[in-house]
Structure formats: structure tokens, C-alpha cells
Structure 1
Amino acid sequence: MQHSMKGRHHGSCLCGRVRFEIEGDFDSFYLCYCTFCQKDTGSAHAANLFSQSARLHWIEGKAHVKTFQLPNTLHEKSFCIHCGSALPTRSTPEAPLVVPAGCLDSALDRRPNARIYVDDRAIWINPDLEGLPDFKAAPGH
């Protein structure tokens, strides 16, 4: 993982066809437990960074990026059409840039600001996961 200069972040999709750079700083970092984010991540929550002022530059593969807008909502997701990896999106020029934290290749030096939409949290997610075993790889490998 490469470290980033302040205000400059690099990222890519899983298959490597899409690469981008974010120029600017993030205003907030939320773990969102809403049902939309559960569905589009296939997980307990989305981990998204937000910025009003940062600029997104597609370095490679912009043609491989597709955006899905959930009708009648503000929920939007951009992703690589080959591997499905979540990628940055901005629904309108006035809207914040939304960057899935997991698509960054550069080191992120901040913790989430908050968990949001916690009342929608999946019933299998206990807010206190202490006591679960930790493994450096998949169990048995």
C-alpha cells in the first residue's frame, strides 16, 4: 500500500482496469448501515468518504465505470463493469464526492467519524464484536 501526500489519494478496482486519483481532502468518513448500503455492498455496512471540494481524476479505465442510481432516492453506486468493485461517484456537480474507502490504494490516515443509520443495522451485527476470534487468514489455511 502506497502512502499518500496530504490531499492526494490513489485507488483502483479489484481487477485493475480502473485507476483514479482524488485531489483534495475528505470532509467526513461514515460507516453507513442503511438497507441500501447493505444491499449494494453485500455486507453489514458501507465505508464511504465524502468531500465537497475534492476532484476526481480517472487515470485509466473510465469507460469501464458504470453508475447505478436507485430510482426516487439519492442513493447511487459506481462500479467496475468487469469485477464489480465499488468506485467513487458524484451524482451532481453540487453533490459531495463519495469514495468507498476500500477502493483506495493509498494509506488513509483517519478513522470513521460515525456510524449512521444504525437502526437499520442487520440483526446479525452486534455493536460489540469483542470475543470473536481473529485470524490472519481464513480459518484452517
Structure 2
Amino acid sequence: MNQTHTGSCLCGTAKFELIGEFKKFFLCHCSRCRKSSGSAHCANLFAPGAELIWLSGADKLSFYKHQETNFSRTFCSVCGSNVPTEIKARGIVVVPAGCLDTSLELSPQAHVFSGSKGNWDDGFADLPVFDGMPS
């Protein structure tokens, strides 16, 4: 069943609409995802056969492909936020979950490439939780 999702980058320059269905939702801990996100993992949604429509900011998008790998990222050249990447050769759109402006019913299905996660990426369940920045 086709769904419509919208999203944007941090500064709002790049806005998109995705028509399709997310089939997979993975938290990727590979070193490339850690470096591109600056965090423990990337939260990526996979939408095979989806249609990606840029509503604004398409002229401000930059694309990076890591040599000799399948790793690639599309990002806003104004604010640097990761936005969807359409991989036409594989017929799939990869969407960073954090750039969605619409609700998502799908929960992460797996941690992937956990063998290369950062040595500091453990024990998060035991950390205190705050609704905002602690004082």
C-alpha cells in the first residue's frame, strides 16, 4: 500500500515528498554511517520502488559516493543534513529517518554492522533519561 511521507533538512531548504512504502528500517553501526552521522549509528529507512519528489532545494543538494563501496549520501549543501538518496540502479530510496516530518508507524527492525560499532556504543539502556537538556 502506497503511503505519502514528507520531510526536510534542518534549515528547511530541501523539502521532499516520498510516495511508496518503507519495507526495512535498520540502525546501521558501520564506520561510514557513524562518520556521516557523528553518532553511534544512522537510522535508515528503505523504500523499494518509491517515488521521490523534491518540492524545493533540489539545486542545493550535494551527493557523496565513497570510492570502491556502495556507500553514498545526499545532503543539503546549506546545513549539511542527510536527506534521501535515490539509488536508481537498485530501484530503492534510502531515507534517513530523522529527516521525516511525518509520523512513522514502522519501528527499527535490526541493528546492522554491529561488529564495527564504536567501543563506546554500549550500555545506553542504563543511562538517565531527560525530557530536555539537564541542568
Is the TM value for this pair above 0.5?
Answer: yes
The separation in 1 between residues aligned to 2:39 and 2:100, in whole angstroms, is 18
Report how far residue 92 of structure 1 moved: 2.8
More helix by share: 2
Report how far residue 131 of structure 1 moved: 2.2
**2:112 paired with 1:120:** no
Q: How many residue pairs were aligned? A: 135
Runs of at least 5 residues in structure 2 that lack an aligned partner in the other structure: none
**2:42 paired with 1:32:** no
Report how far residue 113 of structure 1 moved: 1.1
TM-score, normalized by length of structure 2? 0.95
**2:62 paired with 1:103:** no
The 5-angstrom pairing of residues 17-56 of structure 1 reads 17-56=13-52
Q: Counterpart of 1:63? A: 59
More strand by share: 2
The root-mean-square deviation of aligned C-alpha atoms, in Å, is: 1.4
Runs of at least 5 residues in structure 1 that lack an aligned partner in the other structure: 1-5
Q: Counterpart of 1:130? A: 125
* Conservation of the 8 A alpha-carbon contact between 2:49 and 2:91: no
Poorly superposed stretches of 4+, deviation over 4 Å: none
TM-score, normalized by length of structure 1? 0.91
The separation in 2 between residues aligned to 1:94 and 1:130, in whole angstroms, is 36
